[in-house]
Amino acid sequence: MQEVILIKDGELALKGLNRSTFEDILIKNIRRKLSALGKFRFEKAQSTISVSPESEETDLDEAAEIIGKVFGIVGYSRAAICEKEMGTILHTAEAYLGEKLDAVKTFKVESKRSDKKFPLTSPEISRETGGYLLRRHPHLKVDVHSPDIVVNVEVRDKYVFIHGNQEKGAGGMPVGTNGKGMLLISGGIDSPVAGWMMAKRGIELVAVHFASPPYTSKRAEMKVHELLRKVAVYSGRIRLYTVRFTEIQETIRDNIPEDMFTLVMRRHMMRIASMIAEKENCQALITGESVGQVASQTIFALNCTNKAAKYPVFRPCIGMDKSEIIEISRKIDAFDISIEPYQDCCTVFTPKHPKTRPTPELLDEAEAAVDWTELLDTAVKTAEAQFISVNQNPEGSY
């Protein structure tokens, strides 16, 4: 029996004229992610995209799992394809879903007919199919309100799709439909979650990580790569810039009052991230900050950090509790990596008593003790860029 995966796209339906462009980006994203499994054919019709493997050997279980992690999809289901003839439809429904029907108590049939030349109307198709299945599974009852399984029969132009319940998709919008954002990624719990949340809204991610060797280790950098790989399962491959931050941090330590160390450091992160964002044509910065979580994330501190950014700073975790952030972190399989204990540059030279009510003016004044221009330029120039992708292959397709 020939099988395909049917995909319902999400908010795309709202996009009117842009719909087709959005669908094309979604198809491109799916195609990339499936490329490791083989070649697939894509067809779009009536807010459904059908994905069919070109070879019979292709593993559809794996394909379905990958599709479940592509943003821009509300729901998807495996479906059998058959000829547009009522007898064939009945046999296919039984062969494809019979076992599933044995395992449940209630069902209903829903039919759609986009080919109006098909001799039966949708209610007639449902009635015939329902009757046929009931005769073969006499324990079943029809429940039109909340059945255990819905048997879907969709009569299209070329063939008929038959499928059971739909799986929930990853939601959101296709990555690449909302421009690019620069994710500041540490090795912590929050920033990978923040990146995932913005990718979900269709933003393509570029990432920047600040490393301060020898205070921070190579292992800490590898941890960031591992985290980005987890995000890339959803977002597609991510270009990562690793910035050498040691000299700037030492200059802060030697020239800035201790209670302002962290905030001056965070402002320089924003400045450097903004410079790379400009090169990369990003329209926003993304951080994992959450209001009040630590001293550098009080509303006063955030106001100071913000002033150093050239682009809007998206902080999708801002109103979330740690437990809510951890829930997403676990869902995307990042949590166990995040809690590995490697030193981040944020924990190098941390003040014992950070300023509780900093103001941008106080920070401007403190920062004026040093001409940072060259230090910042050098940090940007010497940043190393590389692609992080799911399959560890730097030239990999996703």
296 is in the binding site of which of ligand ATP, Mg ion, none (Cβ under 5 to 8 A by kind)?
Answer: ligand ATP
**CA pair distance 177, 71, nearest whole angstrom:** 11
**CA pair distance 8, 174, nearest whole angstrom:** 12
Nearer to Mg ion (CB atom), residue 303 or residue 347? 347
- With contacts defined by CB under 6 A, name the span among 41-49, 53-61, 174-182, 281-289 that binds ligand ATP: 281-289
Q: Which helix (H) or strand (E) holds 111?
A: strand 106-113
- Rounded to a whole number of angstroms, the minimum distance from the CB of residue 262 to ligand ATP is 8
Helix axes 373-381, 246-255, angle to 10 degrees: 160
Contact between 314 and ligand ATP (CB under 6 A)? no
Site string for ligand ATP, 257-276 (x = CB under 6 A): ------------x-------
* Residue whose tokens read 């490697």: 342
**CA pair distance 389, 231, nearest whole angstrom:** 9
- With contacts defined by CB under 6 A, name the span among 23-31, 141-149, 203-211, 380-388 that binds ligand ATP: 203-211
Q: Which of 267, 260, 268 is nearest to 351 (CA)?
A: 260
Contact between 287 and ligand ATP (CB under 6 A)? yes
345 is in the binding site of which of ligand ATP, Mg ion, none (Cβ under 5 to 8 A by kind)?
Answer: ligand ATP
Sign, CA torsion 84/89/93/95: negative
- Rounded to a whole number of angstroms, the minimum distance from the CB of residue 187 to Mg ion is 7
287 is in the binding site of which of Mg ion, ligand ATP, none (Cβ under 5 to 8 A by kind)?
Answer: ligand ATP
* Residue whose tokens read 């000299």: 247
The answer to whether the CB of 252 falls within 8 A of the CB of 363 is no
Range 171-200, binding ligand ATP (CB under 6 A):
184-186, 188-191
Contact between 186 and Mg ion (CB under 5 A)? yes
Contact between 195 and Mg ion (CB under 5 A)? no
Nearer to ligand ATP (CB atom), residue 50 or residue 242? 242
**CA pair distance 204, 72, nearest whole angstrom:** 13
Residue 143: φ, ψ to 5°:
-135, 110
- Rounded to a whole number of angstroms, the minimum distance from the CB of residue 371 to ligand ATP is 24
Burial of 374 (0-12, 13-18, 19+ CB in 10 A): exposed
The answer to whether the CB of 72 falls within 8 A of the CB of 177 is yes
Range 64-83, binding ligand ATP (CB under 6 A):
none
What is 141-174 written as a DSSP string? EE-SSS-SEEEEEEE-SS-EEEE-PPEEEEESB-
Q: Which of 28, 12, 6, 324 is nearest to 194 (CA)?
A: 324
Nearer to ligand ATP (CB atom), residue 88 or residue 343? 343
Answer for which of 78, 163, 209, 239 binds ligand ATP (CB under 6 A) is: 209
Answer for which of 97, 346, 348, 366 binds ligand ATP (CB under 6 A) is: 346
Nearer to ligand ATP (CB atom), residue 200 or residue 209? 209
Kindly list the residues in this chain that would bind Mg ion in the complex (CB under 5 A): 186, 188
Q: Which positions lie near ligand ATP, rule CB under 6 A?
A: 184-186, 188-191, 208-210, 269, 287-289, 293-294, 296, 344-346
